[in-house]
Structure 1
Amino acid sequence: MAYEKPTSRHLLVILLVLSLALTVPAAAQETGTRVVQPGETIEVGAEPIVLDLIGLRNASSFNAITELRKYQGDNPARSVQRVIGVPKDSYFKINSHTFKGHYGRYFAYSKEDGVINDSSIVFVQAPPPTVTVTPTETSTVTEAPTATATTATEPTRAPLPGLIAVTAIALAGLLGIAQKR
């Protein structure tokens, strides 16, 4: 009976260290917030990016941005082509699925101020990632001209953040079970 308590304490410490080792990399993968200024061009890809749209607010009233609007011919006097709702202008998360192919100039809109003509930003589609091929092996044949053999290596990928989080939750559950015993 005297050995059960220290063993369970050591087990709890080990499980705690393992859960921290798995959750810290997942938390570190979150990208920082990008502060947006009027007239800026932003490349949008499949990976989500977080924008801070406070710089697009009307300087005199400083009311929150509620929508980003795309107008026909980039002219706010013409009809609206597309509207993207902005729930929180200090933390606006977007990716290529947000635009569904409708890139271009978007004007900031506030319910209190209306269209802010001097606060527009341009969204463009990010170019697809390219795979770089590096030569891994060079062979020389004496009878023939020099031949170079190259093979493409598969890029390494980080483990999925979701998988890391699920594993950390499972380890936390094991900690709770071990603590009850």
Structure 2
Amino acid sequence: MTNAVVSTVLEIEAEYGTVLKCPINDNRLVAIRKFLNDGDDPIENRSPLGIDLKVAQKLLNSKMTKQEIADILGIKEYRLQRYINCGYLNDTIWHTFDDKRKKRRNSKYRMFKNGDYIGVGTIKELAELTHKTVQTISYYHTEKYKLRKHTDRFRLVKVE
């Protein structure tokens, strides 16, 4: 078959002057790409997103975290999440493996502002109570927030 590839390339070069000027969907060029890539045409199967969606979906179905999956795919985690939100990928199986996140989401916290008690509830309930976003309330629970100096200090204490 390698002789056939060489003769096909010579045929294309005779017609177009160089392989680079040949249209990307030329049947001869597609056949060569499929031969060199075990039957798959990498250009035909390439996603406009820049990642292999089949590989990404298989990784999501494994027990890996989204950060690990994003690192393997060579993208940022927020971009992976955007592909999921837009419907390119399905993470329903991934959620069944993410028990730690589910437990944290349903955990109850006591919230304090400058030492004064504000209320108790899940992060979502505290966000509604204080009229802040869920991300802001979650940030109050991080070490990064605790190390910074603030005029108003918020603390979340997990209720056992």
Greater strand content: 1
**TM-score, normalization: structure 2?**
0.20
**TM-score, normalization: structure 1?**
0.18
Greater helix content: 2
